[in-house]
A and B are shown apart, each in its own frame.
Chain A
Amino acid sequence: MDFGNYSSPHFPVSGSVATMMRHVLFALLPGSICMTWFFGPGVVCNLVLAALTAICSEAGMLYLRGKPVRSTLADSSALVTGILLALALPPLAPWWIPVIGTLFAVIVAKQLYGGIGYNPFNPAMAGYVVLLISFPLELTLWPAPHAGLGLSDTLALVFLDTLPAGMDLDTLTMATPMDSVRTRLGLEQTIPMMQDGELFGLVGAGGWEWVNFWFLIGGLWLFKARVIQWQIPASMLCALAGMALVFYLLDPETHTSPAFQLFSGAAMLGAFFIATDPVSASTTPTGRLFYGAGIGILTYIIRHWGGYPEGIAFAVLLMNMAAPTIDYYTQPRVFGKSGDET
């Protein structure tokens, strides 16, 4: 008789990795389409580049490591990594930005640690942080919503670094709403003073609130399809909104509203698609609550007091480090044993 000594997680997981990843890809569709609508064909360009690089580098690494290439590639986990990274990148970034980021994500953050199931850090976010630290200038190339750069002009800019006549990067790009709120707060301006331009939409940041809305819809569908559990997104968004509410009530002049925090930047993408990465996140039900809450709190702290306008990536990586400890202290009670019996 073979009594296996199984390691955690001791919870039944529905479906295979491949079906799960396919669900994630479908759920990302509405948000991606909305991003393309607002920020132009550069988004698609990033997605294609990152997806191709992810598949090629995963195949190359699997071959070098002597692992089955075709069957492992079919689980699409590398594809999801590439797509998630591409959605975090500015649409006008030169072509080598998504390529380098995805190479680092798949080769160093995923395969060097042992491939899917072994990576302690979320590969997409590791790749993003590498880019953010190494190429701060290129990662600010966010166009203004509906900047009106056509497909051919975008391709020329991305691949050949040439701009259409009469335009320069300053007319095409603008600081993202989160960035400009941050800068203007630094200049002693108050939030009510910023209501003039296109900075704010209905509840969140102009343009970004719709992107976040569609990622929220995709995320809710993922939850309904039982691909993700409710704990991480719920606790992360609650913690983020809770932090924002406390400081907003204390001083609404210099703090943005909870709704703005939830519907700008990468809040929804992070909560439903990035923080819920089944490998690097916490795996126990209680642990997931702590894990998500940690990400929410850290995100708010980095957004408000850190050096970068958006903090999801750093928050996720920091909590990835804490996940094994959280799991250790939140082991569920074994059925048939009382809590104090050890």
Chain B
Amino acid sequence: MSSPGYKEIVHQGLWHNNSGTVQLLGLCPLLAVTTTVINGLGLGLATTLTLVTSNVIVSMIRGLVRPEVRIPVFVLIIASTVTVIELAMNAWFHELYRILGIFIPLIVTNCVIIGRAESFASKQTVDRALLDGLAMGIGFTLVLVILGGMRELFGQGTLLAQAHLMFGEAGKMLTLTILDDYRGFLLAILPPGAFIGLGLIIAGMNIINARRERTAAGKLPVVQPSKA
């Protein structure tokens, strides 16, 4: 497999092959925990950390593991990484850990992580695997944060509520109440809001992509497909 350049890796992870909106992997945590920005950010960072660690380890041992047993080995590596991160979060961000609940241990089953281990890290050098984990993780985090922001704003009229869970007491300053005296739009917080929100984000990305293609092809003559 040819080695992609660093810029290409970043571009793939953040936009072109974004795990949340293009690959549509890891939808369960993506839809379930994004009720607020902070929940999204917390889970996104935990996933990013897991991705980077597992990618680096998988890339380091790629010459040692026989292909027949690679999947169980990947699973073991990912499971150990997630366990470490889970214990660390339990120690340092206990309240956030309790809010995110089952979705922290469930990072193990997030298809993004084993997907990147199998399709990228096991075939690439350590530096590329690290960058790929970082780019994929940040791309995923961005989707989580944007979706969380949309749902929080429509659902309860605030942004960055409960920021102290992540940033300590100083975080309370970050909480913005955008709409005072807002009655709340429960649908946005409930699961349908997550599906509709994700659909809108994907639609937005498709619009931007289509517009880019059009400007790129603007100079060329466009052949209309015949209707026959």
User: Which A residues are closer than 8 A to B by beta carbons?
Assistant: 108, 130, 133-136
Assess whether A134 is in contact with B196, with CB atoms less than 8 Å apart: no
Assess whether B183 is in contact with A135, with CB atoms less than 8 Å apart: yes
Seed contacts A134-B187, A135-B183; 10 additional CB < 8 Å A-B pairs:
A108-B196, A130-B187, A130-B192, A133-B186, A133-B187, A133-B192, A134-B185, A134-B186, A135-B186, A136-B186
B window 186-209: CB within 8 A of A: 186-187, 190, 192, 196
A-B contact count (CB 8 A): 13
| A136–B190 alpha-carbon span in the complex (Å) | 14
Residues of the B chain whose Cβ atoms lie less than 8 Å from the Cβ of A130: 187, 192
Min CB–CB distance B185 → chain A (angstroms): 5
Show 13 residue pairs from A and B whose CB-CB distance is below 8 angstroms, ordered by the A residue. A108-B196, A130-B187, A130-B192, A133-B186, A133-B187, A133-B190, A133-B192, A134-B185, A134-B186, A134-B187, A135-B183, A135-B186, A136-B186
| A130–B190 alpha-carbon span in the complex (Å) | 11
> Is the contact region of chain B dominated by helix, strand, or loop, or is it mixed?
helix
| A108–B192 alpha-carbon span in the complex (Å) | 12
| A134–B183 alpha-carbon span in the complex (Å) | 10
Nearest 7 pairs of A and B residues by beta carbon? A134-B186, A134-B187, A134-B185, A130-B187, A133-B187, A133-B186, A133-B190
Residues of the B chain whose Cβ atoms lie less than 8 Å from the Cβ of A133: 186-187, 190, 192
Q: Which residue of chain B has the shortest Cβ distance to A137 in the bound complex?
A: B183
Residues of the B chain whose Cβ atoms lie less than 8 Å from the Cβ of A108: 196
| A278–B187 alpha-carbon span in the complex (Å) | 27
Digitize B29-62: 1 where CB-to-A-CB distance is under 8 Å, 0 elsewhere. 0000000000000000000000000000000000
Residues of the A chain whose Cβ atoms lie less than 8 Å from the Cβ of B185: 134
Question: Which of B183, B187, B192, B196: most chain A Cβ within 10 A?
Answer: B187
| A90–B21 alpha-carbon span in the complex (Å) | 39
Q: Which residue of chain A has the shortest Cβ distance to B155 in the bound complex?
A: A134
| A26–B178 alpha-carbon span in the complex (Å) | 44
Min CB–CB distance A4 → chain B (angstroms): 13
Residues of the B chain whose Cβ atoms lie less than 8 Å from the Cβ of A134: 185-187
| A208–B185 alpha-carbon span in the complex (Å) | 30
Min CB–CB distance B112 → chain A (angstroms): 27
Min CB–CB distance B98 → chain A (angstroms): 26
